[in-house]
Amino acid sequence: MLSAAALPARGRQAGSAPNILLCISDDQSWLHTGAGGDPVVKTPAFDRVAGEGVLFSHAFCDAPTCGPSRSALVTGQPIWRLEEAGNIHSTLPAKFSTYTEMLGQVGYAIGHTLKGWGPGRLEPGGRTRNPAGNRFGSFEEFLDSRDEGQPFCFWLGSYDPHRPYTAGSGQESGKDPAEVDVPPHLPHHPIVRDDILDYYVEVERFDGRVRAALERLEQAGELENTLVVVTSDHGMPFPRAKASLYDYGSRVPLAVRWGDRVPGGRVAHDFVSLSDLAPTFLEAAGLEPAAEMTASSLLPLLESSASGRVEAARDAAYIAMERHDGCRRGGKGYPCRAIRTDNHLYIRNFEPTRWPSGSPDAKDCARGIPYGEIDSSPTKTLMMESRGESGIDHLAELSFGTRPEHELYDLASDPGQLNNLAGQPSAQQLVGQLRDRLMDHLAETGDPRALGLPAPWDYYPYYGRRVNEDWEVDAPPA
């Protein structure tokens, strides 16, 4: 293994290569931090990183599902370029370079704790180690395992705030359900408010682990030479959020701190994606990103002293979904792509006759639950059992019902993305413009669905847990 002295000089600060600490929660939407404006949840660690660094107001995952999002993050590529890794409960083929492997090759200590890349299986892709690095019991254990003076790249993972939750934990912590800011796509109901409070408890538990890591680095005198990133893999595990391309599924919290290298106290409105982190980490260490990494480094934004929109070209995010949790007969997914701009969200659903949240028949789902793309929860149960009731029926239909091929939302008048304008005659020009921009981007970056090529995601193996023993993935067509 190369020593830290062998690292390129451009990646050093004060004579040593920078450390990298990625803190990533599991299922947290962008609003649910103190710095993000939530009135109830307490996230002092995230708020500190945002206040002493940069808060990104328009950060998006590449896919609102765990495995694909994490695959995009570690490879610096969108999921449509990653073959099997475009599905959850799949694999990440070894031919795709990762920033962790590249940093390890030049002498970095690499490791992770709790949830790294996944869920999925490594062996079918030709890997023997989690793409996040070797697993350690704690951040402290990892730090103690390093050679003296060795720079590190650590993935501080978590299973929070992934479900299940401890029912009533939110109120038991002293939080007031009346103060919850219920998202527009969910019913204003006591069950929903309590469910959100329980979610907040787990957000805060993750934040506590981030705080402990910052304090450990500060005590060791290493914080100022550490590039710290705090984010989430995708949005909250509620209906019309996780596993959807709407903001509550795809928009994530993101704050970055790096001592004097990053002027603090700024909010950047540039559209950025989690896949941008791979080239960012490599360039911070003085390395060139792999040629196949299509994402763009955030270093120019981070090192700028400006707030607001720093790079004019960063005016849109592109988001994708293929198969999430095996909840349609034959292993079929719900392929869709989206472009999100300042003013609009446009979604292209390639198979609009399929159930976007999974089949209502539990027999069609590997997990054995209806609408299985949505995690089981008190909120989901309420909405399923109360269809037909005023105040719930329309929202339930938006969460569980089928969707047209095209969706268009005006974010100024409809920030909750509830009113699809795509079918209105007055919107056809705009639909065409956004559709063309989306499809051009997909074609330029090699998406088979935009190039008229076979799209094999419906037929890749599924390595997740199966409750229904007779559930199988269809064989690809001859």
Burial of 463 (0-12, 13-18, 19+ CB in 10 A): buried
Q: Is the pLDDT of residue 329 over 60?
A: yes
**Domain locations in the chain as residue ranges:** 16-315, 318-459
Q: What is the mean pLDDT of residues 362-366?
A: 95
Quick: pLDDT tens for 257-301: 999 999 999 999 999 999 999 999 999 999 999 999 999 999 999
Mean of per-residue pLDDT scores for the chain: 95
Q: Is the pLDDT of residue 8 over 80?
A: no
Quick: pLDDT tens for 102-131: 999 999 999 999 999 999 999 999 999 999
Burial of 476 (0-12, 13-18, 19+ CB in 10 A): exposed
Inter-residue contact 153 to 109 (CB < 8 Å) = yes
Instruction: Quote the Cα angle for 288-290-293, to 5°.
Output: 115
**CATH code for 16-315?**
3.40.720.10
Buried-state track 360-393, b at ≥16 Cβ within 10 A, e below 16: eebebbbbbbbbbbbbebebbebbbebeeeeebe
Q: What is the mean pLDDT of residues 311-333?
A: 96
**What per-residue confidence (pLDDT) applies to 11?**
40
Q: What is the mean pLDDT of residues 167-193?
A: 98
Q: Is the pLDDT of residue 426 over 60?
A: yes
**What per-residue confidence (pLDDT) applies to 470?**
87
**What per-residue confidence (pLDDT) applies to 135?**
98
Q: Smallest Cα–Cα separation from 66: which of 438, 332, 330, 373? A: 373
Q: What is the mean pLDDT of residues 63-83?
A: 98
**What per-residue confidence (pLDDT) applies to 287?**
97
**What per-residue confidence (pLDDT) applies to 472?**
95
Residue 165: pLDDT band with limits 50, 70, 90: very high
Residue 7: pLDDT band with limits 50, 70, 90: low
**What per-residue confidence (pLDDT) applies to 3?**
37
Q: Pairing state of beta strands 109-113 and 152-156?
A: parallel
Inter-residue contact 81 to 446 (CB < 8 Å) = yes
Residue 6: pLDDT band with limits 50, 70, 90: very low
Question: What is the fold of 318-459?
Answer: Arylsulfatase, C-terminal domain (3.30.1120)
Quick: pLDDT tens for 32-61: 999 999 999 999 999 999 999 999 999 999
Inter-residue contact 17 to 11 (CB < 8 Å) = yes
Residue 1: pLDDT band with limits 50, 70, 90: very low
CA distance 325 to 420: 26
CA–CA distance from 30 to each of 158, 383, 405 (Å)? 17, 23, 27
Quick: pLDDT tens for 206-222: 999 999 999 999 999 99
Quick: pLDDT tens for 230-260: 999 999 999 999 999 999 999 999 999 999 9
Give residues with Cβ within 8 angstroms of 23, minimum separation 6: 156, 158, 206, 209, 210, 213, 228, 229, 230, 231
